[in-house]
Amino acid sequence: MLEFFANPYVSWTAWTLLYTVLIVGGVLFVVAYYTYAERKIMGAMQRRQGPMTVGPFGLLQPIADGIKLFSKETIIPSGAHRVVFLLAPMMLFALSLIAWAVIPFDKGWVLANINVGILYLFAVSSMTVYGVIMAGWASNSRYAFLGGLRSAAQMVSYEVSMGLIIVCVLLCTGSLNLQEIVLADRPFWMQVLLFPMFIVFLISILAETNRAPFDLPEGESEITGGFMVEYSAMTYALFFLGEYSAMILMSAMTTTLFLGGWLPPFGITALAFVPGIIWFAMKTLLIMFVFIWARATLPRFRYDQLMRLGWKVFLPLTLFWVVLTAGLLLTFDALPG
């Protein structure tokens, strides 16, 4: 038995499986209590209590919600395409998990340290559009189909801007590897240059994940619930888990690209004694709080306002900023070697 585990291929497979289980389990745990935190924080902002009766301080509310959803009967509409109807939520949930393979939690703490990690992330996040369209079409409902088309148009609009923002970061760091992006030397003037793109990226990930004030697919007053209106029980729970894990993923992606990942804030070496994963978690939690803050504060955009912001404001701005960034780096001979 010991000789079997001494084999390097077996050992590598075992460690990979263990690390995968830890990542998936950790993400699901954080998703469960992110919903609890969202309800508590929004309750405090709106002078309410939030969850408070299930367990001490309402801490068992996510578990109760999970048991309720997974114990209900999954109802499939008679006119729905059964295979695609069930495949769509599974696809969305799976995509929100496999993207974590390239996220570095600390130096060397990454499942797959590939040289094109940022392209992998962008490709996986782009594929979520397919799950949304599949769910809307397979439901055989005009409301669900309209919600799916609106969501697909919204996600595509903001992915273009997100791609150009990532190009700006790549110009400054000279690498597609996420660990090298974190460790790349960024002088103060470069941080100032990237700050407007950080703000645009923050707004874009709100639209990318269909969160307020850009939650147009779920406009109850307009299209009665969006692309998931025909889903219930476990299939609805998978959409719910996929949405929240995508929010956490985008928060981690923002931390990696703009906030220095696991490094101490502002390059303060005196804070280096704190483990890197703690800094990474704190920065990610800060971005996750922005999602909740925006939902509790801002009213929903109209669809024409959403499209105008994406195509007439963010797209020209990010295009201009790519040219400006490249020009400044060339002028000051600061392009990474």
Q: Are residues 63 and 78 in the same domain?
A: no
Buried b (16+ CB within 10 A) or exposed e, 112-124: eeeeebbebbbeb
Q: Are residues 81 and 60 in the same domain?
A: no
Q: Which residues touch 142 (CB under 8 Å, ≥6 apart)?
A: none
Q: Are residues 80 and 66 in the same domain?
A: no
User: What DSSP state is assigned to residue 266?
Assistant: G
Tokens of 290: 């922005």
Phi, psi angle pair for 73, to nearest 5°: -80, 135
337 part of a folded domain: no
Q: Give the model confidence (pLDDT) of 89-137 as tens digits.
A: 999 999 988 999 999 999 888 888 888 889 899 889 888 888 889 998 9
336 part of a folded domain: no
Decide which of 11, 38, 71 is a domain's last residue.
Answer: 71
Residue-number span of the structural domain to which 304 is assigned = 73-331
Q: What is the pLDDT of residue 153?
A: 85
191: which strand partners? none
Q: What is the pLDDT of residue 20?
A: 86
- Global confidence as pTM: 0.92
22 part of a folded domain: yes
Q: Are residues 160 and 102 in the same domain?
A: yes
Q: Are residues 172 and 224 in the same domain?
A: yes
Low-confidence ranges of the chain (pLDDT < 50): 1-2
Q: Give the number of domains in the chain.
A: 2
Token pair 């997100």 is found at: 162
> Which ranges in the chain belong to alpha helices (H)?
2-6, 8-45, 61-71, 82-98, 117-138, 142-173, 178-183, 188-208, 220-223, 233-258, 276-297, 303-308, 315-331
Q: Give the model confidence (pLDDT) of 51-76 as tens digits.
A: 999 989 999 999 999 899 888 888 88
Q: Are residues 66 and 83 in the same domain?
A: no
Q: Are residues 60 and 77 in the same domain?
A: no
Calculate the average pLDDT of the chain: 88
Decide which of 71, 106, 130 is a domain's last residue.
Answer: 71
